[in-house]
Amino acid sequence: MTQAADEKTSVAVPGDEKLQKVLARAGIGSRREMERAIEAGQVKVNDKIAKLGDRVMPQDKIFVNGQRVVLRSELTRRRVILYNKPEGEICSRSDPEGRPTVYDHLPPLKGERWISVGRLDFNTSGLLLFTNDGELANKLMHPSSVIDREYLVRIQGEVTDDMRTNLLKGVALDDGVARFTDIVDGAGEGKNRWFYCVVMEGRNREVRRLWESQGVKVSRLKRVRYANIFIPSHVRVGQWTDLTEREIQDLCMTAGFDSSTYTRMMEPTRDEAAQRERHDKKLRAASAAPRRPKVPVRKRPPIVE
């Protein structure tokens, strides 16, 4: 009788979901991160410390590290924004040294938080993606997705054909063999040349370490592409822009992310669409070439006879 009762209570009832799935959808982190947080006792449900395997209902109150989590329904609005990171910003939410962070310049979210899709070094600039969907962020960063990341790099030192061959075949680094899948010449001549190079992983300082393994130095590094997303010409350094619904869908397809498994897309409301359009117009207007001021026509002085 007791065993039958236990089996009956373990069956999911309509409307209840696994706790880690709810937290991931709320943008707190990936499911794996939430599972670790639950195991560490950092999550409470209705003032009780949660345990792995707990299921929750929409009316339950959930806290992570003492902060109330605003729950999102299955029918949700997924956002992805592109940020053109300058050099001199860190990708952490806060810094003991007081350095500026990338989160200082992102638009606010109500009851959610932006999750960074990968990171860039302090001295690396360029394309960073942020989303409010923890599952999508996790999928985009996972090595199994095999997503290419393209960088523009300036090299100090002579780059030979043998070096290129080594970098394309693979180089043994401290954390395993790494390689570029493509290297294309950019601008410059001599010992200060630019190259476009592509990696398929997001290891720490991978691009710099690959070039440094060949005895040359990276003096500038900028990420210019992530999967099918490029930096728009009108988004200057330190600015952000929303990806369109089509771009988000293409990004999900590239990552092999079945969005219907986790959340169903909602179209932006009319007000949200208008707000995004105003922001985009503002960026384009700021990046447009300044107009020449009109010079007033000089009137000839009257002829005095």
Rounded Cα distance, 82 and 86, in Å? 13
The candidate with the shortest Cα–Cα distance to 283, out of 213, 249, 233, 225, is 233
Rounded Cα distance, 105 and 7, in Å? 50
Stated as kind and residue range, the H or E segment containing 289 is none
Residues facing 185 on adjacent strands:
195
CB 159 within 8 A of CB 120: no
104 is catalytic: no
- Per annotation, catalytic residue among 121, 148, 250, 280: 121
Rounded Cα distance, 159 and 21, in Å? 48
CB 203 within 8 A of CB 69: no
The most distant pair of C-alpha atoms in the chain lies apart, rounded to whole Å, by: 123
| Residue 269, burial from CB neighbour count under 10 angstroms (0-12, 13-18, 19+) | exposed
Report the catalytic residues. Answer: 121
